[in-house]
Amino acid sequence: MSEYVFALAVNGLVWGLIIALIALGLSIIFGLLDIINVAHGDFFMLGTVGGLVVAVGTGSFWLALLVVPIVGLLLGAVIERLVIRPTLRQASLTIVTTFGLSIIVQEMVRATYGPQPRRMAAPIEGTVPVFGIDYEIYRIAAAAFAAVCLIVFFLFLNRTRLGTWIRAARHDPETATALGVPVTRVCAFTFALGTAMALLGGVIAAPITTVEFRTGVDILPFCFMAVIIGGLGNLQGTVAAAIMLAVLEGLMTSVLEPTSARILSLGFMCAVLLVRPHGLFAGATR
Amino acid sequence: MTVARVRAAALAILLVALVAVPWALPALGATFWVNIVAEILIWSLLAASANLLFGFVGLLSFGQALFFGFGMYGVALSIEAWGFGFWPALATGVLAASAMALVTGVMAVRLTWHYFAIITVVFSLIFYFAAMSMKWLTGGDDGISFSPPSVFALGGHTLSLGDATVQYYVILAIVSACFAATALVVSSPLGLRFKAVRENDRRAALVGINVYATRLIAFVLAGALAGASGALFAFFGRYASASYMFYHVSGEAVVWAIIGGSGTILGPLFGTGLLIVFRELVSTVWEHYLLAVGAITILVVMFAPRGLAGAWNGLVAGLLDRGAEEPRRAAIPEES
């Protein structure tokens, strides 16, 4: 029994790290462009599908891991230019535009890749004994890789010029413009980067989830929970909340049905929204 | 002709056309379309519910499917469990949805902007997951089916929903009543408070409007509209299913309302009609018609954010203005 609980907690940690990556993408887009991207879950789904297709097509998962996020970066830039930027003036309606985007992405995948769910073989096979249970090596590798990506992201944001620009544009777009930061281009890049992070999360998650056009619909509420509980725009908070929520849900599923666990975390999110609308860790960032 | 007269005439034409549907469409050999029109009428109430909140009070809700679901289950469960008749079951559905809107609204309308959209999604997701897992009560994804009671029984005559024409008129009557009620509310002092809150909640508060109460009233009324929609859809399909509580249903309602024209009374009806007719016509020849729906959604927000009704109102006003200006222009040379 205790091994079983442990395995659920580790599963939660693995998923938490991957979701943290996706939710961070959602969070930087919200923080800078002030839009709620309902299509973000579908970008994750696009990552799982792209990962599977490239890995099966070329025979190399590692190539997929490299190529798909780059495609995501380009795709995000194109979508920002064609769909997001023209509708930014209708700020309250961006949820509607991204909802339309979400319909298009799902239907495109259904039209090309097909409606059947598929599973993908793990690129690293075998299991390793962890505290008395045999655990898949790939899941541990996926968690480690997601953690490395998170560290690289924060280094990029805090140590490079582009990262500084993103933070500056988020803090005060007008002053940033006056100081010569190309805010419009920084916004475009941020949207592209957020999209690429969702696709990257998708490739990492492809071997441990079902790959189909609906996966994004399941993952989106979880990403939103992480972003809200962590505090909208509070990036470290988002990461902490994603990991905490996933581990807690994993532990709760040892005594509850998965849906009951999900209902409890959604209820928790409601409480946070109402009582601490700036997130659980609001005081810590000040 | 004034703008008001043109609009009254258009409304009369629309009503006559809707009343004529059960004769006109079969005469044209399109009996199947009577049910499509009925479906449009039902779903337009859900779009009207989203529109009441977004178009008149300025709150974008992505959770109206929750109240649609409560309307559905209010009907299905009260008929299954207590053997209710048509009208009590309909009332149960609407009341259940309104009560749920009151309970969730007390919390939700404290928030605005993106936060309001998110909390409405969260509430609907909580009850979606709950309904999905409580199979003993809701039947989950498969839902529960029931046989609908007769609408009226007087002496030996009964009106039953089994007759497609009766069913259509019952739906048309209830939907028309709901739209008329919405129009009354919107043009009442309460409706003015709605608009004041939408335009600027701080100024509304300064002139003495209770912003919180105004939003809550709108939320409950919108819940009642969504509940009526769900209740009618339960009668129409003779079943209730938890799958209709998912947030994609709410999203569709918002899309219909915005394409039709948010902030107008009949806009949601036109938006719903356009998209459902589009679905029926195109889905048979093109499996992936949803691609076009997504594209239309984005294009409308980009180029016609006031929707079909907004474009129509602009057209009417523009034509009448030109008509009014031309004689005046012609009169000037005569005078000089």
Tens digit of each residue's pLDDT (9 = 90 or more) over B160-193? 777 888 889 999 999 999 999 999 999 999 999 9
SS3 of A26-71: HHHHHHHHCCCCCCHHHHHHHHHHHHHHHHHHHCCHHHHHHHHHHH
For residue B15, is it within any domain? no
For residue B326, is it within any domain? no
Q: Which residues pair with B239 in a beta bridge?
A: B145
For residue B59, is it within any domain? yes
For residue B31, is it within any domain? yes
How many Cβ contacts (< 8 angstroms) between chains A and B? 112
Residue B333 has pLDDT above 60, yes or no: no
- Contact residues, B window 93-152, toward A, CB-based 8 Å cutoff: 107, 110-111, 113-115, 117-119, 121-123, 125-126, 129-130, 132-133
Residue A1 has pLDDT above 70, yes or no: no
Residue range B16-54, pLDDT digits in tens: 988 888 888 888 877 888 889 999 999 999 999 999 999
User: Which of the pair, B287 or B332, is modelled with greater confidence?
Assistant: B287
Residue B220 has pLDDT above 90, yes or no: yes
Average pLDDT, stretch B1-12? 82
- Report d(CA B137, CA B77) in Å as an integer: 8
In chain B, what residues touch A260 (CB-CB under 8 Å)? 133
Answer whether A102 touches B (CB < 8 Å). Answer: yes
pLDDT attached to residue B157: 73
- Report d(CA B107, CA B116) in Å as an integer: 10
Whether A206 and A72 have beta carbons less than 8 Å apart is answered as no
For residue B256, is it within any domain? no
Residue range B300-311, pLDDT digits in tens: 888 888 888 888
Q: CA of B321: how far to CAs of A182, A202, B264, in Å?
A: 45, 56, 21
Average pLDDT, stretch A190-213? 92
pLDDT attached to residue A267: 87
Contact B294 A102 (CB under 8 A): yes
Cα–Cα–Cα angle for B240, B69, B142, rounded to 5 degrees: 35
Q: Which residues pair with A130 in a beta bridge?
A: A133
Whether A200 and A20 have beta carbons less than 8 Å apart is answered as no
State the nearest Cα–Cα gap between B260 and chain A, in angstroms.
14
At B69, which amino acid appears? G
What total number of domains does chain B contain?
1
Give this complex's ipTM.
0.84
pLDDT attached to residue A283: 59
Residue range B252-293, pLDDT digits in tens: 999 999 988 888 888 899 999 999 998 888 888 888 888 988
User: Considering only CA atoms, which of A247, A221, A251, A227 is closest in space to residue A239?
Assistant: A227
> What is the value of pTM for the model shown?
0.87
Residue B234 has pLDDT above 90, yes or no: yes
For residue B178, is it within any domain? yes
Whether B298 and A97 have beta carbons less than 8 Å apart is answered as yes
In chain A, what residues touch B295 (CB-CB under 8 Å)? 100, 104
In chain A, what residues touch B297 (CB-CB under 8 Å)? 96-97, 99-100, 103
Half-sphere exposure for B48 (CA within 13 Å, toward CB):
30
Q: Is the dihedral of CA A224, B60, A36, A104 positive or negative?
A: positive
Average pLDDT score over chain B: 86
For residue B189, is it within any domain? yes
Average pLDDT, stretch A35-64? 91
pLDDT attached to residue B327: 47
- Tell me the residue range of the domain where B114 lies: 25-246
Task: Determine what percent of chain B is predicted with pLDDT higher than 90.
Answer: 40
Average pLDDT, stretch A89-106? 86
